Amino acid sequence: MMLKRFIEEEGPAKFDLIIVGGGITGAAVAYIAAARGLSVALFEKKDYGGATSAATSKLIHGGLRYLANGELKLVRESLRERRILGNIAPNFVYPLPFIMPMYKRWRGNIWKMLTGMFLYDLLSYDKKDTWDKSKKLQNHRLINHRKTVRVEPNLRMEELRNAFYFFDYQSIFPERLTLAFIKSAAEYGACVSNYTPVEGFISGEGKKITGVKVRDLFTGREKEVHADLVINCGGTWADKILGLATGSEQPAHRVKRSEGIHIITKKIAGHHVVSLQKADGGHMMIMPWREHSLIGTTDKEFLGDPDEYRVSLESIDEVIENVNNNFGRKISREDIIHAYGGLRPLVDDQTKGSYETSRKYEVYDNAVDGIEGMITVEGGKYTTSRSLAREVLKMISAKLNRVLSDALSDNLYLSGCEIRDMKQFMIRQHLNYKDFSHDTVEYLSRNYGTESQVVFRIARDNRKYAEVISHDGEILAEVVYAVRYESAMTLRDIMLRRTGTGTLGNPGRTITEKIASLAAELLGWDEKKKTDEIASIMKVYDLF
C-alpha cells in the first residue's frame, strides 16, 4: 500500500483517538486501536521510529536478566510476545543463538544461573508453537570448555570454564518493523503523519483536552484535529508533551531517561551473540548483524534535554573498554565504522538508568494530574510493544465507555509480512527474480517481505534503478519505493530507516551522491536542499 501523510491530505477533523508519537509504542497502539474499529490519527514530530525505537540492540528477547529481579510476569509476557512477533513478522524476526561464557571468578551463583535457564525454558513452554516451524527455538544447554572454545575462539581464555548456549530472536531491521506497524494501522484506516509536531492542545469545557494543533515541518501548514481522547506515546518526550498540555515548563510528572549506545565494527565474533559479564555484574553483548559485529549497550542515567542528546566519546570509550576487559579480541576507536545511541524512558519507581531496570511499563489516566482527556504511556521495551498496546486499549475502552472488538492482533500478519513459510517464500523469490543477484533477492525479500515485488518491479521497469548500492545487494529501486510508497521525506529517512544503505556507517561520497540525486529528483529538491541533506546525513558519521 501507499503510505500517505495525513497533514497533506483532506481528511476528517475529528477522531476517536489522537496518538502523539510514532515510535514503536505509538505505532502499536495505532494499529491495535484501528484494528478494533476506532478512528485514529497519529502524529510524529520527526520520522516514524527514528529515536528510541531505532536505538535498539536489534533483539526480540524474553529478558533473561529480569529473572534476577523475580519479575516472572514480565519475563513470561516478553517470551510470549517474542513468539508472537516471530509469527506476525516472520521476515523480520529470526532465531539467534547466544553463548554466555562462565569463568571461575564469575560474579554470581552458577546454580542460580542454571535454575534461571531452566526457568527461562519453562516460562517459554509454548516457544515451539510457531506458525513457521523453522522458528522453533531449542532449549538451553551447558557446553563444556572444549566446545565453548570451538564455538567462539575469540573469547578471553583465562579461567574459562564452560558456557551456556541458548536462543532468542533477532530483529534484522527494527526501523522497518516499526514501519510495518504504522502501515498496518494505515491499512485499517488510521491517518498517520510524520514530521508533524503537536504544537498545542485544544481544550473544551472544564479544561478537558479535545484536540491538538499540528504543523507540517516542510510546508508550515497548520491544522486543528479533534478527538475524544489523546494518547501520549511520546516516550522520552512524554513529560514535554504533558508540559505542553498544562502550559507548564515544569510538569508534575518527569520522565527518567537512560542512555544506551551501540558501536559497529568488522566481525570480531561468530554467528551468535556473545553475552559477557562486566565487572559491575551487568552484561554487554557482541551480536552478529549484516556480517559485522554490533556491540552494546550502555545503560546510565541521562539528565539533559532529550532534544540535545548525542552519542558521546565517553560512551563510545566505555563500550570499547568493556570489550577489551572481557573479550579476547581487542578493539580501538579505529575499528569503529559506526555508532548510534538513544534514550530509554523509565517509569518512576525504576532505578536510575541501571542495568537491573526491568523495562516495565505504565499506562495512566492524566485525569489524576488534572488533565482530562489524555492517557500517557511510559516505559516498556520493543519486544512487549504489542502487549502494551493491548493494555492501553483496556483503558481507552473504559474512558470511552465502549466495548471494543478484539482484532486478535496475535493472529494477524503485519503489513508486508504475510508469509507462512519463510523457507518456501525465499525459494520462490530466487526463482522469480533470477535477473537479480543472490544477495539482492535475499536482502529485499527479507526486509520488504511481500512488498518486495513492488521494489523488484520498479527495478525491472527502469534498469537504472537495479544498480547495486551496498555490499549486501541493496538497489536504487529502494530509494524510489521509500519516497513513493513510504513517506520518506529526508535523506536520513531513506538511508537510515527505509533502506540500510546508511546503517553500517558512511557508504562513501559516491553512493551518498547517487541516493541524494535520485531523492532530489523524486522530492523536487534544488541543489542547495540536496547539499543540505547530504551534510545532514554526514553529521551522523561524525563520531569523533
The predicted pLDDT at position 354 comes to 43
The predicted pLDDT at position 107 comes to 59
Q: Where are the domains of the chain?
A: 6-52+175-253+360-411, 88-171+256-346, 422-540
For the chain, what percent of residues have pLDDT higher than 70? 95
pLDDT tens digits for range 330-381: 999 999 999 999 998 886 554 444 444 445 678 989 998 888 999 999 888 8
H or E segment and range at residue 184? helix 174-187
> What residues are paired with 315 via a beta bridge?
none
pLDDT tens digits for range 383-426: 999 999 999 999 999 999 999 877 677 889 999 999 999 999 99
Torsion of CA 353, 253, 223, 487, to 10 degrees: 10
> Cα(first)–Cα(last) distance of the chain, in Å?
41
Under DSSP, the state recorded for 173 is -
Q: Is the pTM of this model over 0.85?
A: yes
Q: For residue 369, what is its C-alpha cell?
A: 494530574
Distance CA 489, CA 495 (A): 11
What are 456-463's contacts with CB under 8 Å, separation 24+? 460/435
Yes or no: say if 359 and 387 are a contact pair by the CB < 8 Å rule. no
Yes or no: say if 171 and 60 are a contact pair by the CB < 8 Å rule. yes
366-394 CB burial, b ≥16 within 10 A, e <16? beebebbbbbbbbbbbbbbbbbbbbbbbe
Reply yes or no on whether the pLDDT at 19 is more than 90.
yes
CATH superfamily placement of domain 88-171+256-346: D-Amino Acid Oxidase, subunit A, domain 2 (3.30.9.10)
State the chain's mean pLDDT as an integer.
Answer: 92
Distance CA 544, CA 542 (A): 6
CATH of domain 6-52+175-253+360-411: 3.50.50.60
| CATH topology identical between 88-171+256-346 and 422-540 | no
The predicted pLDDT at position 59 comes to 96
CATH of domain 422-540: 1.10.8.870
